[in-house]
A and B are shown apart, each in its own frame.
Chain A
Amino acid sequence: MILKEQSSRLCHQKNYEYVRVYIINIVAPIMIIAKNVVKQYGKLVALNNVTFSFENEQVTAIMGENGAGKSTLLKILVGILPFNQGEISVDGFSIVKDSIKVRERIGYLPETPTMYDRLTGREFLVYIASLRKFTEAEPRIRELSTLLGVDRFLDYELGTYSKGMKQKISIISAIMHSPANLLLDEPVWGLDPLTARALQKFIVDRKGTTILATHSPQLVEQTAHQVYIMKRGQVVASGSVDMFMQKYGSIEEAYFQTEGT
């Protein structure tokens, strides 16, 4: 499916970047690679020489205790946070040398969605769409805001939104341009059960690479193909969700067993 999309892009846009991505995709379908990444906050080592690979058309979950380095990893992959050592590439582009191209290919939901309080929800989303040069924003905002049940609040200032409403606006900003790579930090945080279920369905159905940082074993079981379990900046276990389920019976049990060690 992705190959088909990319070949049609090739025909229409004749862009060499897509040729590059197309070739990379055939050779290796791994879209995001983080190799030997080290991140230090002063003396505290947040990520200690960790390596990840996130495959195309797969949902990968990252679990771990508070302070394990999940959000730090996502921020580094998006290019928000500089790192001390290692290599990161997204769709074959280096995050250091081609950061703009990397940012064009991702959607990101932060851990705490702080936005501009004086803008309305609609103004914020249009601002994000304008900076992304995403021209079909209006129908997409209408569609997604209705889906997430936030359409009637779109013209209120963001400063007056509740936690869950801000989370919904932030989710729309991350997914409205249908990014190839989607990075979600605690996506169901603050959401009502209906919206959380709709979001889970969206994650399962979507194409491309999806990375979830979450504490919810249920979300991992229902959406993810792969899982990494982190502790103190290191990966203590990784593998397919099926493998963990077979071995431990549930992701929750797998988490307790591996984190406990």
Chain B
Amino acid sequence: MFDTYTTLLTDAGRNLQRNIRDSPVLYIWFGFMLVFSVAMTAMLTMFMLKNQVNMSIDDVVFSFFFVFLMKSSADFHKYFVQSPGVTYALSSAVSHQRTVGEIALMIFWTNLGLWVFFSSLFSVFLSVAGVSLGYPIEYLKFTTGVVLGCILGVATSLHFFSPHKLRLLPAGAIIGVFLYVRNLEIIVVLIGFSLCYLAWSVRYALDSYQYVNRKDRQKENKKAIMRTERSAIFFKETTVLWRDRLLSSFVFTSVATGGFIGYLAVFGKDLFIPESLRIQAEQFLPSVYVSLGIYIVIIFTAVFPAINMFLIEEQTMWVVRHLPVSEKTFVTGKVYALVIPFLCSIPFLAYYIAFAGTRFLAFSIWFLVFSYLAGVIISLPFGAKYIGKKSDVLVLYSVSLLVFGVVSVAAGLDAIVGRFFSAYHVLFYVVTIIFEIVLLLASIEIAAHVMAMKQKYSWFTGKPKL
């Protein structure tokens, strides 16, 4: 009874336990970061409530729906579509529908558990801050949005990786209705529909299991081109990013964020800020928006790829470790490959300028370069520390928060320089970038050293090799 369900839960739990045992200090730090960010969100909510900021609760509900839709899609891809381990369950006497259903159930309960945990923590912080928690209907609305997101996420992932893409249409229709009509009763009805849709989808689950196109790339490989070590690593990383369609998703992220932030820079003041605060907000709001936009872009184009380039080496560690390549060369090759994602982040500026004009152009260019470099500098040692340990959300999230701290301080410094030493503003930009380049070189050395240390010291006992 529920064997697949319990096995997957046990495996996920033990994986987390092992990671915590391996690096207890870092995981305590990561846990602290999570709690801190929930507290900060609660404080922001309190600020918005006290200042009567005009924000539609439906937009926030939809944001949560979308986040959980994406997460459960990714979970289903990991636990079913791409999981070789499921072969054993699928080859047993248990029906395929039941096995897939158990995987979907595991994903549903895990994500709902995360929602309950974080929303409870959020509520605790709000109540400590003296905010009334008498919003049961709103909470119910959020929860139904999350439930709908989890169910649709599984179904979407199931059909997205199948050759029969038309089966995605009902999911699109449900999302469309949810976007258009957002009252609670309709969401509950949509949950019923999406459950029926999921039950129907599960019948076709095997269409997407380990679905791969045998991709012939003959035209791209007429001649084997020998490269230097660093450019070989650059080529390999860039090819993988390109074929995983990550480069196009980076461009999409920067274009979408640029457009959205540009729109907010023009109309955001009237949309969100109460009239009493608008005059004060005018002073700083556009630069806050552009900073926030750049931060979002560099998280996707600098932090995530920089860490993931190391984390996803899990099964291929033998390739890295048995070749006569120094750790520094290996890290430097990966840093070279990050130039392409940086280029993908530049459209943000174009789209932002198209909406908001060139008022913050110098600041935007500096802040984009500064933030990108900061993201890479901080990410490299963490990537090297966790090399080969699969993509870990906790690591990605915590490093993102660290980067947020650093770029916030930099933006603050820029404001101080602009106010008191405006004649030296350009000098400030140049000096900070040069300083970061020096730090980047140091970060490469540290990351290489961390990788070498992992080789020299026993991974299990922590004792040095003799």
The reply to whether B460 and A42 contact each other, CB–CB distance below 8 Å, is yes
Q: Compute how far the CA of A108 lies from the CA of B439 in the bound complex, rounded to whole angstroms.
A: 36
- B318 and A40 within 8 A (CB): no
Chain B residues with Cβ under 8 A from A110's Cβ?
Answer: 318
Known contacts A114-B315, A137-B226, A156-B215; is-contact A82 B456 (Cβ 8 Å): yes
Across the interface, name the chain B residue whose C-beta is closest to A154. Answer: B221
Q: Would you call B322 and A41 a contact (CB within 8 A)?
A: no
The answer, among A104, A106, A133, A155, for a CB contact under 8 Å with B216, is A155
Flag B451-466 by CB within 8 Å of A: 1 or 0 each.
0001111111101011
In the complex, which residues of chain B have a beta carbon less than 8 angstroms from the beta carbon of A79? 321-322, 455
Instruction: List B contacts of A106 (CB < 8 A).
Output: 322
Q: Which of A40, A75, A115 contacts B460 (CB 8 A)?
A: A40
B461 touches A84 (CB 8 A): yes
Q: A82-B465, A86-B466 given as contacts; is B324 within 8 A of A131 (CB)?
A: yes
Given known A118-B240, A122-B224, A130-B229, contact A83–B458 (CB-CB < 8 A): yes
B323 touches which one: A123, A131, A138 (CB < 8 A)? A131
The answer to whether B465 and A83 have CB atoms under 8 Å apart is yes
B460 x A141 contact (CB < 8 A): no
A-side contacts of B213, CB under 8 Å: 160
Interface string of B235-264 (1 = CB under 8 A from A): 110011001100000000000000000000
Query: Are B318 and A127 in contact (CB-based, < 8 A)?
Result: no
Give Cα A163 to B109, complex, Å: 35
- Asked if A126 lies at the interface with its beta carbon under 8 angstroms from chain B, I say yes
Residues of A contacting B224 with CB < 8 Å? 122, 125-126, 129, 137-138, 141
Query: Would you call B90 an interface residue if the criterion is a C-beta within 8 Å of the partner chain's C-beta atoms?
Result: no
Decide if A160 touches B214 in the complex (CB within 8 Å): yes
Minimum CB–CB distance from B341 to chain A (whole Å) comes to 16
A79 to chain B, nearest CB (A): 6
> What is the CA–CA distance of A22 and B163 in the complex, to the nearest angstrom?
60
Task: From the candidates A100, A115, A125, A155, name the one contacting B316 in the complex (CB within 8 A).
Answer: A115
Let me know if A78 and B322 touch, CB within 8 A. yes
Within 8 A of A (CB), among B320-358: 321-326
Q: Is A53 an interface residue (CB 8 A)?
A: no
Contact indicator A127/B221 (Cβ below 8 Å): no
Bound complex: CA of A231 vs CA of B229, how far in Å? 40
Interface centre among A79, A82, A125 (most CB of B within 10 A): A82
For residue B223, CB closer than 8 A to chain A, the reply is yes
Tell whether, in the assembled complex, residue B466 and residue A118 are in contact, meaning their CB atoms are under 8 Å apart.
no
Query: Interface readout for A239-260 with B: 1 if CB under 8 Å, 0 if not?
Result: 0000000000000000000000
B235: which A residues are within 8 A, CB to CB? 127
Q: A207 at the A/B interface (Cβ < 8 Å)? A: no
Which residues of chain A from 95 to 132 have any CB-CB distance to chain B below 8 Å in the complex? 96, 99-101, 103-104, 106, 108, 110, 112, 114-116, 118-120, 122-123, 125-132
Measured between beta carbons, the chain B residues less than 8 angstroms from A100 are 324-326
Nearest CB in chain B: distance from A39 CB, A: 8
Q: Give Cα A116 to B225, complex, Å.
A: 18
Q: Does B227 touch A at the CB level, under 8 Å?
A: yes
B359 at the interface (CB under 8 A from A): no
**How many A residues are at the interface, by size bracket?**
35 or more
A149 in contact (CB, < 8 A): no
Contact across chains for A96 and B324 when beta carbons are under 8 A apart: no
Which B residues are CB-close (under 8 A) to A146?
A: none
Q: Which residue of B lies closest to A161 (CB)?
A: B214
Tell whether, in the assembled complex, residue A131 and residue B460 are in contact, meaning their CB atoms are under 8 Å apart.
no
> Is A67 in the interface zone, CB < 8 Å from B?
no
Closest CB-CB distance, A146 to chain B, in whole Å? 14
Cβ contact within 8 Å between A128 and B217: no
Complex Cα distance, B374 from A256, in Å, reads: 60
On whether the beta carbons of B236 and A127 are closer than 8 Å, the reply is yes
In the complex where A96-B456, A116-B240 touch, is A131 in contact with B229 (Cβ < 8 A)? yes
Most buried by A among B214, B228, B231, B458: B458
In the bound complex, what is the Cα–Cα distance between A120 and B318 (angstroms)? 18
Q: Which of A80, A87, A108, A130 has the most CB of B within 10 A?
A: A130
A135 contacts which chain B residues (CB < 8 A)? 226
User: With the chains together, A104 CA to B463 CA distance in Å?
Assistant: 27
| A96-B465, A116-B240, A133-B229 as given contacts; A160 in contact with B221, CB under 8 Å | no
In this assembly, does B319 line the interface, its C-beta being within 8 Å of a C-beta of chain A?
A: yes
Given known A79-B322, A130-B226, A160-B214, contact A119–B240 (CB-CB < 8 A)? yes
Q: Are A116 and B236 in contact (CB under 8 A)?
A: yes
A157-B215 Cα distance, complex, nearest whole Å: 6
Residue B129, interface by CB 8 Å: no
- A156:B456 contact, CB within 8 angstroms: no
Please name all residues of chain A whose beta carbon is closer than 8 Å to the beta carbon of B324 when the two chains form the complex.
100-101, 103-104, 131-132
Task: Tell me which residues across on chain B come within 8 A of A83, comparing CB atoms.
Answer: 458, 465
Does A85 sit at the interface, judged by CB under 8 A?
A: yes
Nearest CB of A to B328, in Å: 11
What does the 1/0 interface line of B307-323 toward A look like (CB < 8 Å)? 00000000111110111
A128 and B319 contact, CB distance less than 8 A = yes
> Nearest chain-B residue to A157 (Cβ)?
B215
Q: Give the docked Cα–Cα distance between A100 and B321 (Å).
A: 10
A82 touches B459 (CB 8 A): yes
- Shortest C-beta distance, A32 to chain B (Å), equals 14
- 9 tightest A-B CB contacts, nearest first: A130-B232, A114-B315, A103-B324, A155-B218, A104-B324, A118-B243, A80-B321, A138-B224, A160-B214
A sample of 15 inter-chain contacts (CB < 8 A) reads A82-B465, A100-B325, A103-B324, A103-B325, A115-B319, A118-B240, A118-B244, A130-B232, A131-B323, A131-B325, A132-B324, A137-B226, A141-B224, A155-B221, A160-B215
Residues of chain A at the chain B interface (Cβ within 8 Å): 40-42, 75, 78-80, 82-87, 96, 99-101, 103-104, 106, 108, 110, 112, 114-116, 118-120, 122-123, 125-133, 135, 137-138, 141, 154-157, 159-160
B residues with a Cβ closer than 8 A to A are: 212-218, 220-221, 223-229, 231-233, 235-236, 239-240, 243-244, 315-319, 321-326, 454-461, 463, 465-466
